[in-house]
Structure 1
Amino acid sequence: MNLFVRSNPSLSLHIHGVLRALCFSTDTTAISHSLNRRISMVEDPKVPIIPVLEKWVQEGQVVTNSDLKHFIRKLRKIHRFSHALQVSQWMSDQRGHNLSPGDVAVRLDLISKVHGLEQAVTYFNSVPESLRGLEVYGALLNCYAHYKHLEEAEATMRKMREMGFVRNVLSYNVMLNLYYQMGKYEKIQVLMQEMEKWGICFSNITYKILLNAYVATSNIEEIKKILMKMEADPLVSIDWYAYVVAANGYLKAGLIDKTLTMLWRSEQLISGKSARFACETLLSLYTAVGNKEQVYRVWNLYKTKGRSLNSSYLCMINSLLKLDDVDGAERIWEEWVSIVKCFDIRIPNVMLSTYSKKGLWEKAEAFVGKIVASGIKIEASTLDRLATGYHVGGQMLKASETIKKAISISQPGWEPNVYTLAACLEYLKGREDVKKIEDLLKILKEHCHSSSVSYDRLNSSIIDKENLCARALDHMEGEDQALNGERPAATEFEDKNSAEI
């Protein structure tokens, strides 16, 4: 009996399509031939959506401008920006709809996302002055901020001031977040003073941007002040994330007691759809504090709230491994194995990475053997980690054979651990095994076209051959962090109100 059920790509696409159809459907009967459904089924952004609309009209069916705007909103919501832009353009070009400032703002945003900033600016310049109101300038400001074009964003903000368009919090939030993202903290203070001068009330987003900025600068006193203002502001509903950001600030400052207090306050506010993300964030922060007892408590509490997802198991296993609780991580792994429906390669990979770091190559070898025996098709990234484990454990012949196999089954764009690969080549050169060297380089040339794993680079001074083992482990750890999605201490805030201008 297989331990795992491998995720089926075609089944996943079918489920994905059904979910999108449900997202589009406004009719509880979900008529199979509705325009909603037809649009939802065209998922490939390279496939034009216009023929679907035109066929609908040719069949004698009715589609109103209100319907089209509804489709645009839904398409934007699920990040099908190219299709949303096509509908927007068809609405005006083929249907003769006169665009409102709101329509123009939406199109400007879509052009920026689909074709880039330059074309968005070109479109803005083509818009008649009569339509360039608050919504359109606000969309332009968002575009510049998204691409971190500071000077252009500031110039747009000045223009909006001149036209009397900045007497609301949305534009200020865009600029505050831009300054925070670019580390221009002194400009944040100037903008706050301006908001106070004009009597512009802070929103939840404003406070969170400020909290993150003060955490970035380790300004503990300002973190305290912002939290006090949020708690006292009747117009703001403080949530779990605000306390998590503050907890991270206190943790950076080494104030463990205050960190734990903030985490406890955060936990009291967790509810609804954000519960999973919130609990994973708490797990990561309690791990950073080094409090294993709280990690287990949060995990057990989270499991009572419904089905745990792969990402949650990955987060818990990562947390226990960072706390050097390998036995605990193995227990969670076994629990995951017993319930998993869709196999997530990141979870066994993080276990393999730990075995490799500890030189437990026999354990890593047995672990991979169990996965293969369960019927799961092994992936290159898994064998790459096993090869590194062999490397650390001094089993260089096995390392060479394993990394060769990893490369041979790899997908386009994948690259092996260049330091483990270099160590394998050094080993084979030392043995004067020309045949194995040629075989490995042949497979490398066939499957890996990136210069970062080229033969010249492997033999150059760029690769420090005196520290290949340590460098291989560092490379593997960095790759794990990138793939596993380490919980960020701060988030780039998007004001949902401004997004729908």
Structure 2
Amino acid sequence: MFALSKVVRRSQSLRLGACNAVYYSKLEVPLRERNGSVESNALIHDKHEAFSSSYELPWSYSTGRRSLSSDAGARSSGEEDGLQSEEELSCDEADIDGAELELLSEAGKSPGSKRSSELFKAIVSVSGLSVASALDKWVEEGKEINRTEIANAMLQLRRRRMYGRALQLAEWLEEHKQYELEERDYASRLDLIAKVRGLYKGELYVERIPESFRGELVYRTLLANYASTSNVRKAEAVFNKMKDLGFPRTSYACDQMLMLYKRVDKKKIADVLSMMEKENLKPTLYTYKILIDAKGATNDISGMEEILETMKSEGVEVDLRAKSIVARHYASAGLKEKAEKVLKEMEGESLVANRYVWKDLLSIYGFLQRADEVSRIWKICEANNPFYKESLAAILAFGKINKVKEAEAVFKKSVKMGHRVSSGMYSVLLRIYVDHKMVSEGKDLVKRMVDSGCNIGALTWDALIRLYVEAGEVEKADASLSKATQLKQIKPLMSSFMYVMDEYARKGDVHNTEKIFQWMRQSGYHSRFRQFQSLIQAYVNAKAPAYGMKDRMKADNVFPNRGLAILLANADPFKKTPLSDLLD
């Protein structure tokens, strides 16, 4: 059973199968050494059968199917002021999750929905988050609330990541029974609860959904949220339950698992692909994007190109998002000419007419150190009232090409244009100051940010903590990290912990390195290869024995590679020395 998958594992490559060779034979995803722990060994299964199983790229792409953040963790439950990591800049201006789109009515996906709805304007016009008052007033004025109006308003709120307001809208609708609810209405509210209040609250809400409406869309929504937060155990459980409930396997559900495993355990990709083969599920455009990204992330450029050729031979369009992924991986691999060729394809005959690629071009040309191209594209942006994300991409790009003054000018221009300068824009400028060791400017920017009343999110905390570490003020970095971990609205990024932990490890401060190690666990980060590497380094630098370290690693299912094994041996309290040999 699944003989092909066994061959895949033995050969250390991930092949898609032979039964549907037309689709699968060329789509290989290479294995990477398993450095991290996986939350569960229970793999996806058919109803009565189980499978057996045994710092990253500058960008990770965001897709239209599900905007999956990095292992940074939970989303903010605040009023979504536009926090965007550099990785997230690859999203389309109007991009929202494909999972979310399926929760909206057809009216919400119509061309007219791109225009801001009157109900949306009424909702965002109220102060704070008092959405109910705006809706009550809307009804009192005799204005109609129908599915089309609601769907358009919900779409606009989701596009702007105003999930708190969107959830209040969904709750008001359910409470006031303006129309008969359908499964997608319950699924939409589930998705918003998971985003705003966390998955535990989402699980409780599922139990409240009438059984007749607890269908595939509800479980698919739950699956997508588990996958987006890298909760392997629960994602697998929901994936299996959907099969047990009689729902047919879908490409969407399999794609969610592929995306999840791409991030946490690439070896399991083979299991999903074998299942797709068995279920006769053809790879979707999203499937191809995942595999392209997986290939590129392991620097298997030839494999990535094979997938592109397979797409073309099967008549699957290589869209702009796929081209952006390819260009980014070419750039990361140092293949400048290939990257620029793809960028020119994305630009098309008229850059002015292809506005939706501007931010990607800015970002990638910045990484390629093409100052001339960054300046050229930004000049076009300036002449056409730049969008928020275009300005954000320009700040990052100018930072990459060491033009700090130009980055500051874009920031100031955004302020003058009346843009709501969110913590996202502050954080990227702060990161540039950190990169260029402009400590005083960074501190002044943080003070300005606080004075403006702008919410400080995970990215800004991350930049601030790194700023203090770079300035040699690890105690202040520690205090900032401690404060960030105590906030309920955010979850500090893994990198925030690692900046401080690595600095303590460098100093040989075992006590504080262990403290940060425990903080990470308490914040929901599983102890993996990277954390143990820093922790063991602290013991080595302190010339202190690391008692029980092997058992600790084994308990967390972390297995050392050659480098870590050498480090571990140096911290072994029972290692042999010339003196111990004499004593023996």
- Which bin holds the TM-score, normalised by the shorter protein? 0.5 to 0.7
Deviations 1:133-162 (CA, angstroms, capped at 9, x unpaired): 221121121121122211221121122234
Amino acid aligned to 1:119: K
2:300 equivalent to 1:300: no
Give the counterpart of 1:220 among 285, 301, 305. 301
Shift, 1:228, TM fit: 0.6
C-alpha contact 1:173 1:206 (8 A) present in aligned 2? yes
Instruction: Report the Cα distance in structure 1 between the residues aligned to 2:114 and 2:474, rounded to whole angstroms.
Output: 61
Amino acid aligned to 1:137: Y
2:314 equivalent to 1:230: no
Instruction: Report the Cα distance in structure 1 between the residues aligned to 2:408 and 2:164, rounded to whole angstroms.
Output: 43
Aligned to 1:371: none
Q: How does 1:372-411 map to 2 (within 5 A)?
A: 381-382=443-444
Q: Give the secondary-structure state (helix, strand or coil) at the position aligned to 2:401.
A: helix
Give the counterpart of 1:245 among 325, 329, 344. 325
Q: How does 1:356-367 map to 2 (within 5 A)?
A: none
Instruction: Report the Cα distance in structure 2 between the residues aligned to 1:356 and 1:316, rounded to whole angstroms.
Output: 17
Shift, 1:225, TM fit: 1.5
Deviations 1:44-75 (CA, angstroms, capped at 9, x unpaired): 23x2x223323343455543455444433443
Aligned to 2:280: 199
Q: Give the secondary-structure state (helix, strand or coil) at the position aligned to 2:368.
A: helix
Q: Give the secondary-structure state (helix, strand or coil) at the position aligned to 1:148.
A: coil
2:162 equivalent to 1:80: yes
Instruction: Report the Cα distance in structure 1 between the residues aligned to 2:164 and 2:482, rounded to whole angstroms.
Output: 33
Shift, 1:421, TM fit: 6.8
Q: Give the secondary-structure state (helix, strand or coil) at the position aligned to 1:114.
A: helix
Instruction: Report the Cα distance in structure 2 between the residues aligned to 1:157 and 1:284, rounded to whole angstroms.
Output: 40
Shift in alpha-carbon separation, 1:423–1:103, aligned structure 2, 3 A: closer
Larger Rg: 1
Q: How does 1:6-155 map to 2 (within 5 A)?
A: 35=119, 37-42=121-126, 44-45=128-129, 47=130, 49-64=131-146, 67-95=149-177, 97-155=179-237
Aligned to 2:538: none
Instruction: Report the Cα distance in structure 1 between the residues aligned to 2:253 and 2:134, rounded to whole angstroms.
Output: 37
Aligned to 2:529: none
Question: Any gaps of 5 or more consecutive residues in structure 2?
Answer: 1-80, 82-107, 485-499, 509-584
Q: Give the secondary-structure state (helix, strand or coil) at the position aligned to 1:281.
A: helix
Shift, 1:226, TM fit: 1.0
What is the aligned residue count? Answer: 358
Identity %: 25
Q: How does 1:310-459 map to 2 (within 5 A)?
A: 310-321=391-402, 329=403, 332=406, 341=416, 381-382=443-444, 417-418=467-468
Instruction: Report the Cα distance in structure 1 between the residues aligned to 2:149 and 2:448, rounded to whole angstroms.
Output: 50
Aligned to 1:4: none
Q: Give the secondary-structure state (helix, strand or coil) at the position aligned to 1:155.
A: helix
Question: Any gaps of 5 or more consecutive residues in structure 1?
Answer: 1-11, 13-22, 322-328, 358-363, 369-378, 385-404, 426-443, 467-501
Amino acid aligned to 1:52: A
Q: Give the secondary-structure state (helix, strand or coil) at the position aligned to 1:218.
A: coil
Of 110-119 and 331-340, the range deviating more from structure 2: 331-340
Deviations 1:247-285 (CA, angstroms, capped at 9, x unpaired): 444455555554454444444487634222121133134
Shift, 1:450, TM fit: 6.8
C-alpha contact 1:215 1:246 (8 A) present in aligned 2? yes
Deviations 1:322-381 (CA, angstroms, capped at 9, x unpaired): xxxxxxx38857986997745977898788668758xxxxxx9xxx9xxxxxxxxxx762
Aligned to 1:391: none
Q: Give the secondary-structure state (helix, strand or coil) at the position aligned to 1:44.
A: coil
Shift in alpha-carbon separation, 1:251–1:129, aligned structure 2, 3 A: same
Instruction: Report the Cα distance in structure 1 between the residues aligned to 2:278 and 2:230, rounded to whole angstroms.
Output: 26
Shift in alpha-carbon separation, 1:264–1:313, aligned structure 2, 3 A: closer
**TM-score normalised over the length of structure 1:** 0.57
Amino acid aligned to 2:304: I
C-alpha contact 2:433 2:442 (8 A) present in aligned 1? no
C-alpha contact 2:367 2:397 (8 A) present in aligned 1? no
Instruction: Report the Cα distance in structure 1 between the residues aligned to 2:274 and 2:320, rounded to whole angstroms.
Output: 27
Q: CA RMSD in A?
A: 4.8
Q: Give the secondary-structure state (helix, strand or coil) at the position aligned to 1:200.
A: coil
Instruction: Report the Cα distance in structure 2 between the residues aligned to 1:348 and 1:52, rounded to whole angstroms.
Output: 36
C-alpha contact 1:352 1:382 (8 A) present in aligned 2? no
Instruction: Report the Cα distance in structure 2 between the residues aligned to 1:148 and 1:63, rounded to whole angstroms.
Output: 37
Shift, 1:118, TM fit: 0.9
* Larger RCO, structures 1/2 (Cα 8 Å, 6+ apart): 2
Of 146-155 and 242-251, the range deviating more from structure 2: 242-251
Amino acid aligned to 2:240: R
Instruction: Report the Cα distance in structure 2 between the residues aligned to 1:406 and 1:64, rounded to whole angstroms.
Output: 43
Deviations 1:265-315 (CA, angstroms, capped at 9, x unpaired): 44448763422212113313422xxxx4xx414532553464466435424
Give the counterpart of 2:241 among 155, 159, 164. 159
Instruction: Report the Cα distance in structure 1 between the residues aligned to 2:333 and 2:322, rounded to whole angstroms.
Output: 17
Instruction: Report the Cα distance in structure 1 between the residues aligned to 2:399 and 2:288, rounded to whole angstroms.
Output: 31
Shift in alpha-carbon separation, 1:279–1:91, aligned structure 2, 3 A: same
